[in-house]
Structure 1
Amino acid sequence: MADTIIEPGAEQTIETAALKSDRFRLEREADWIRLEDIVTKMEKGKAKRLSDEDVLALPTLYRTLLSSLSIARESSLDAGLIDYLEGLALRSYFLVYGTQTSLGRWLKEFFGGGWSRAIRDIKMDIWIALSVMIAGTLIGYLLVAGDSDWFYALVPGNFSDVRVPGASEAALRGTLFGADKQNGLGVFAAFLFSNNAQVAILAFALGFAFAIPSILLLIHNMALMGAMLWVFAQRGLTVEFVGWLSIHGTTELFAILLAGAAGIHVGRSIAFPGDKSHLTAASDAGKRAALVMAGVVIMLICAGLLEGFARQLINDTGIRYLVGASMLIFWLVYFFVFGRKRMEIGS
């Protein structure tokens, strides 16, 4: 085999490139080694052993590493060096921008004040959503009161058997009391839960369109409730119907309220970003609203359990109100008292 002949000019070019690569490494290697040491300790769960200086230096060292990697690629330096920098950059990325907490710690922070704090941050939007829901209920009630045909436009036909305008008091009362007579209204309750869960998700998801679809959705959903309320009110069963609904309704409707408020918060932040850019305002509002929605899912699960068990077992109107009021008080205290006290103690 013939020996490879390297021309003098090419040999000098290789030596220059090697020298350049060595110089580049020597100038920055100390920062790379320090960053790799920090990353390795954090990956092994030894973050507590890091000094405050190392923790504070992590973002700066990461940005310096990215700068070195960019220069190395543009200068076509040693391939091995580039591979090393790319690997270290990938490991550092997850530590700088990834979630640095365990599931248990996240849940502790979420239930310990994070959820309630996010809800207090959208207090204005909660009042807007509450006003919209009350208006929707009144609209449904007044529409059916003025023309009973509106009932069939608002309430799905497969749920309007005996619970229709003109039904007798005995027939309506029979749907509210007695486990053996509640099958019909139980189906309606299951429908309400399924429908409200969908409304909660959509009210939040459609908030990006300046909150208009979220508001319309809340109005339509509560108009259905208003229409059904009128049917029972005409036979003097308002107290009994509200008591039946309150067992799971105080939790379920509260969840709808928060979901609608979360959607309105996102839409309002996009429409009126204030001093922030539209993108920044939407991002901040989205993070806050997403935290609220995580709690809404939990509330809907609680409402489903109450609807599935408590409503079936309790036939006394007074006890129904007691259960519904207790759940409402629990949520109000948790959202607006419990979290606030923890925050004030910590500050």
Structure 2
Amino acid sequence: MREVAFIKQNKDKWLDFEKSIFGKELKNPDELASLYTHLVNDLSYAQTYYPKSKTILYLNNLAAKAFQKIYKTKRQDKNRFIYFFKTEIPQIMFEYRRYVLYAFLIFGVFVGIGALSSAYDDSYVRLVLGDNYVNTTLENIKDGDPVAIYKSGSNWGSFIGITLKNLRVCVANVVTGVFAGFGTGYIMMENGLMVGSFQYMFQKEDVLWESVRGIWIHGAMEIFAIVISGSAGFIIGASILFPKTYSRITSFKTGLKTGVKILMSLFPFFICAGFLEGYITRYSNTMPNWLSVGIILITLSIISYYYIIYPHIVNNKQQNNQLNAVI
């Protein structure tokens, strides 16, 4: 059977199933389970005869969402908090993994632009970071403590202030996604240019290593969280620009809900980054290299595992559960 005929033959059934799953009026569980079985069979057929078709992607996404809705256990319902972090967010991150890639690429490009601009224009660092910050940092470098600016204020005050600051940046990243993603792109540009010019300033003063072993104790998790929030903003923007088979308003509501969920999942990492900056970074110049580097690698590994590696593990487990449910 030609793919066009296959789609034409089953299109109404797929759309009916999609409305039943995501609409307000749900069919009874037995009927939904039966439709789900037919959907998985159609997916298997498409994978066999149309291996490079976009139909497979559509059916696979629909089957994954349907499985989550139909076969979610009572235990998951009772432990909603655990389910949110253990299953729901990883599923979202896997489904929208390309937006995470886009966010990292965009941020990385602007980091490079910030560093290159600083290398070719001495005034660029001051333009981005401000004269007061640059002058203070240069004085600290002369005094032999490049990251002394992170030692000002009390531990508790710094912890709360930095946590709230990071939260504001990430909320702005998500909220400005409603401007078709361009608002998020602008915030990512600002932060990328800032990081690039900031690190080049230390490189120029021959204290790059001292800055890395100090600032990135909290910066590894902080910057990663900002990029993840950027991907959430891009998801919202894409839901407006590319509604696919949904109405634009339905697509936007789904994208907004997804973006907010990703933002909520970042809260523990905001708190952790704020704690590290308020209580640990200020002691970076007195701790051994192995300890500061160890903290950086551990924090980076935890957040990258959760948002990049773990979603693939959850997806593979879910696919196995789908096959077992059908069998």
> By the TM > 0.5 criterion, same fold?
yes
- SS of the residue aligned with 1:160? helix
**Which residue, 144, 151, 165 being the options, matches 1:186?**
151
Give the 5 Å matches for 1:254-265: 254-265=224-235
Q: For the structure 1 residues 102 and 339, does the alpha-carbon distance in structure 2 shift closer, same or farther, using more than 3 Å as the test? A: closer
Normalising by the residue count of structure 1, what TM-score does the alignment of the two structures yield?
0.62
Match of 1:330, as an amino acid?
I
1:108-257 equivalent positions in 2, closer than 5 A: 108-164=82-138, 170-171=142-143, 173-176=144-147, 182=148, 184-187=149-152, 195-257=165-227
Task: Answer 1 or 2: higher relative contact order, Cα 8 Å, separation at least 6.
Answer: 2
In the other structure, the counterpart of 2:51 is: none
CA, structure 1 residues 140+340, in 2 after alignment: closer, same or farther (shift >3 Å)? closer
Instruction: Please state how far the C-alpha of 1:220 moved relative to its aligned partner.
Output: 0.9
CA separation of 1:196/1:243 partners in 2, compared to 1, >3 Å: closer, same or farther? same
Give the TM-score, by structure 2 length: 0.66
How do 1:260-299 residues align onto structure 2 when only pairs under 5 Å count? 260-299=230-269
Pair 1:319-2:291 in alignment: yes
Deviation per CA, 1:22-57: give whole Å up to 9, x if none: xxxxxxxxxxxxxxxxxxxxxxxxxxxxxxx99889
Contact persistence 2:221–2:273 (CA under 8 A): yes
Shift of 1:262: 0.3
What are the Cα deviations for residues 195-229 of structure 1, in whole angstroms up to 9, with x where unaligned?
A: 44322111100001110111011111221222221
Distance in 1 of aligned mates of 2:81 and 2:166 = 25
Distance in 2, matches of 1:162 and 1:335, equals 36
Q: How does 1:97-112 map to 2 (within 5 A)?
A: 105-112=79-86
Partner deviation per Cα, 1:178-200 (whole Å, 9 max, x = no partner): xxxx3x23359878765443221
* Deviation by residue 1:110-142 (Cα, 9 ceiling, x = unmatched): 122212222222211111111111122122222
Distance (whole Å) between structure 1 residues aligned to residue 241 and residue 28 of structure 2:
41
Report the secondary structure of 1:162's partner residue: helix
- State the distance in 2 between where 1:298 and 1:170 align: 36
Q: 2:280 aligned to 310, 313, 322, which one? A: 310
Pick closer, same or farther for the CA change 1:205–1:187 going to 2, 3 Å. farther
Query: Post-superposition shift, 1:345?
Result: 3.6
CA distance in structure 2 between the partners assigned to 1:102 and 1:318 by the alignment: 41
Q: Is the 8 A contact 2:171 2:229 kept in 1?
A: yes
Give identity over the alignment, percent: 18
1:248-274 alpha-carbon deviations (Å, 9 max, x no partner): 111111110111110011101211122
Alignment correspondent of 1:83:
none
Q: How many angstroms apart in 2 are the aligned matches of 1:224 and 1:185?
A: 17
For the Cα contact (< 8 Å) 1:247–1:323, is it kept in 2? yes
Paired with 2:275 and 2:90, the residues of 1 have a C-alpha distance of 22
Structure (1 or 2) with the larger CA radius of gyration: 1
Consecutive unaligned residues in structure 1, runs of 5 or more = 1-52, 58-99, 177-181
2: distance between equivalents of 1:158 and 1:170? 16
- Structure 1 residues 54 and 274: CA distance shift in structure 2, 3 A: closer
SS in structure 1 at match of 2:244: coil
| CA RMSD, Structure 1 to Structure 2 (Å) | 2.9
| 1: CA distance, partners of 2:295 / 2:191 | 24
